[in-house]
Every structure is written in structure tokens, then in C-alpha cells.
Amino acid sequence: MALAVPVTLKTTEVGENERLDYAMSAMQGHRENMEDAHAIVLDLDAATGTSFFGVYDGHGGPAVSKYCARHLHIELRRHERFHDNLRIAIERTFLRMDEMTKDRSAGRELSGYGGNDNWKAYRKAMRRSLFLPFCQSAYPGPENDGCTACVVLIRGNQIIVGNAGDSRCVLSRNNLAIDLSNNFKPSLPAERQRIEAAGHLVTFSERGNVRRIDDGIAILRSLGDLLYKDNNNLGPQEQAITAFLEVRTEEINQDDQFLIIACDGIW
């Protein structure tokens, strides 16, 4: 459901360290809830001088985007390959986030963010189990909600971009826009092949004039959305929707001016 009158109040923050300046702004718009989230950690790791920036574009509610904004960079920092192979560390951390949301221990936090009927029902069931301990409710996980994720790490002379979904990262270099991420859409042949091999269909919907999975979701790489990751015969990279991401690396040079990370609604 969309609000008839958009919420135009903006949340803005700025910050800096010895090397980087940043500014962030977010607006709810026509959504019933603010479904997007972000994380900025200028000094994620002092030993390697690593800075982290992440944009999490939620759908179906804010639960997964807020969960990722709170945990993803922490899990990345903990990964055993964080210091010597960021590509592997980012890839495995994105997949790790899905496993974390499937675990019952994440349920209280995710349901606390709310945003859809599934989480409301789970919170109600948790309250009931306090009085009837033998009636422990099944934990559904984020079945119908999720988020895309576009994260950037600055380390030394490198920009490392990890992207799952349709948020974008663009570098301004000598007044030219340099794409540092791809839009993953169901119309891409490789993506469509994976979706169909997982037992789902790519359909065209007049609702928004876009291609969708099973005439429903228009996202095909995301965190959460567990209903589309239900084929037990396939690995996480082969599911109809996958949290597996694209990683790009770009060397910083003297012509680089600024970097923009934004959700698809901005672009």
C-alpha cells in the first residue's frame, strides 16, 4: 500500500575522518513505513584503514534492511578473510546474513522492526508462548520481505563495491559518471535462466510495466525473501532469488571526485 501524500521529511547527516567526507540523506516518500536503511563506519578497521558505507533498500517492510544495517558490517569485519581477501569476505558475509535471518535467535529483533502482518503474527505468538511455554511458535523468518544491498569499502587506494539487487554505485571521475555496479533485473538472460532452473517463472506485469518472478517480486538478488530460496536441491547461489553479489574493484586516481550510493528510487 502507498500513502496518498508522501512523507517528505528528510533525515540527513554528515561526517568525516582524516581522509573522507560523507553526507547521507533519506526520505520515506509514499511508503507506509521507512523501509530503507544505511550504515556508515568511517573507521571499520584501523589496522587496514578500511571505511564502510552501505545502502539497504527494503521491500515488504523495514525488518531485513534494518537488520542488515546493524549486523552486516560487523559480520564482515569478523570474517577470517577480511584482512587478506575482501572479495571472498564480502561474498560469504552476504550469504551469511541470510543464514542469520533464518535462525530463531534473530526473530525477536526482526519482528521488533515490524512492517508487515507476518511479523505482527510472530510477535503475537511470542507473547502467547510466555504464558504457554509448550506452545512455542514456528519461526518463519523473513519470507515475504527483504532488502537489496549495495556496500562500498575504501581501503588504501581501492574502492571495493559489493552489490546484490538494483541499488547503484556510481563514481564521478573527471566529470564523467563511471558505473561501479550492475542492475540485476529478471530480463537479464543469465538471471532468467537461474530463476527458471529453480522452478520459478519470469512474467511480465502491467503493474509497473516490469518483469517479475511469478508475477510477484521484481527483485532477483536480495537478502531475505526466503520464499524464493526454498529449493532444497540447490545451493544459495542457484536459488530464484539469491543473496550472492557482484564485487567490483576500482583503483582511486587523482581524477576521482566523489562517489554516490543510492537506492533505485533515487536513480
Instruction: Indicate if the pLDDT at residue 184 is higher than 80.
Output: yes
The pLDDT score that the predictor gives to residue 32 is: 87
- Secondary structure percentages of the chain, helix, strand, coil, to 5: 25, 35, 35
**What are the chain's domains?**
2-178+247-262 (3.60.40.10)
DSSP per-residue string spanning 209-223: TEEEETTTB--SB-E
The pLDDT score that the predictor gives to residue 1 is: 66
The pLDDT score that the predictor gives to residue 185 is: 78
Task: Give the three-class secondary structure for 50.
Answer: strand
The pLDDT score that the predictor gives to residue 126 is: 84
Instruction: Indicate if the pLDDT at residue 133 is higher than 70.
Output: no
The pLDDT score that the predictor gives to residue 135 is: 60
Mean pLDDT of 99-105: 94
Instruction: Indicate if the pLDDT at residue 209 is higher than 80.
Output: no
| Mean pLDDT of the residues in the chain | 92
Instruction: Indicate if the pLDDT at residue 39 is higher than 90.
Output: yes
89 close to 82: Cβ distance less than 8 angstroms: yes
The pLDDT score that the predictor gives to residue 219 is: 87
pLDDT bucket at 170, cuts 50 / 70 / 90:
very high
The pLDDT score that the predictor gives to residue 186 is: 74
DSSP per-residue string spanning 76-119: HHHSTTTTT-HHHHHHHHHHHHHHHHHSGGGHHHHHHH--SHHH
CA distance 138 to 212: 29
Give, in order, the Cα–Cα distances in Å from 188 to each of 184, 191, 192, 194, 237: 7, 5, 6, 10, 16
Residues 6+ apart with CB under 8 A from 99: none
The pLDDT score that the predictor gives to residue 132 is: 63
175 close to 157: Cβ distance less than 8 angstroms: no
* Encoded amino acid at 56, one letter: Y
pTM: 0.93
